[in-house]
Amino acid sequence: MGAHAGVSNNSFIDPLIHAACPRTPRAAVCTMLFSLLCLAIACVLIGVGVVLGVVAVGLTFALVGAGMVSSSVMIGVWRGRAQLGLRAFLLQCGILAGIPAGMLCAWVATSVWEQIDGTLVAVLAAGGLAGALGGAVVALMFEILASRVHGWLAARLDGVKARTLPRGQVSRSTLDR
């Protein structure tokens, strides 16, 4: 300790103390405003995280309630391959997401182009069918891309095999090449 109680003689700590404890009222107000800004940003980010979590839980309940998860699991179990269950899930999600997207696109198209003549129900039905078809195509394209990436990774990692231990346990820490 120095000559005064609570004051350090350390040249490394002194700038930190003076930066954290400003001596002028203007600096104190700036520090307080900066702290409030940081607190507001943290609260917004926490709020966004909570909202995204609630949306994720809601989507999970919706997918389970619609039977998409259970039907995909059953397809994977029935066929004996998890990849087929994932493929069925992606296809179902693509169709489900494509229906409202197609309906919205068809509704916007009729609003923009007055030449399209039809009732709202016919436009939404046509848009829903087109959206379901588009969603299925996008889901299948994603599945093809995923299978090609899987094939490429399998070819690249073909020489990597796990070492089997005497009791039939697999060592997760070492891999033989």
Handedness of CA 63, 64, 66, 69 (dihedral sign): positive
At 8-64, the pLDDT tens digits run 556 666 666 666 665 677 777 777 888 888 899 999 999 999 999 898 888 878 877
- CA contacts within 13 A on the Cβ side of 113: 8
C-beta separation of 151 from 105 below 8 A = no
Phi and psi for 162 in degrees, rounded to 5?
A: -75, 140
Q: State the Cα–Cα distance between residues 1 and 95, nearest whole angstrom.
A: 72
Taking the whole predicted model, whether its pTM rises above 0.95 is answered as: no
Specify the higher pLDDT residue, 117 or 88: 88
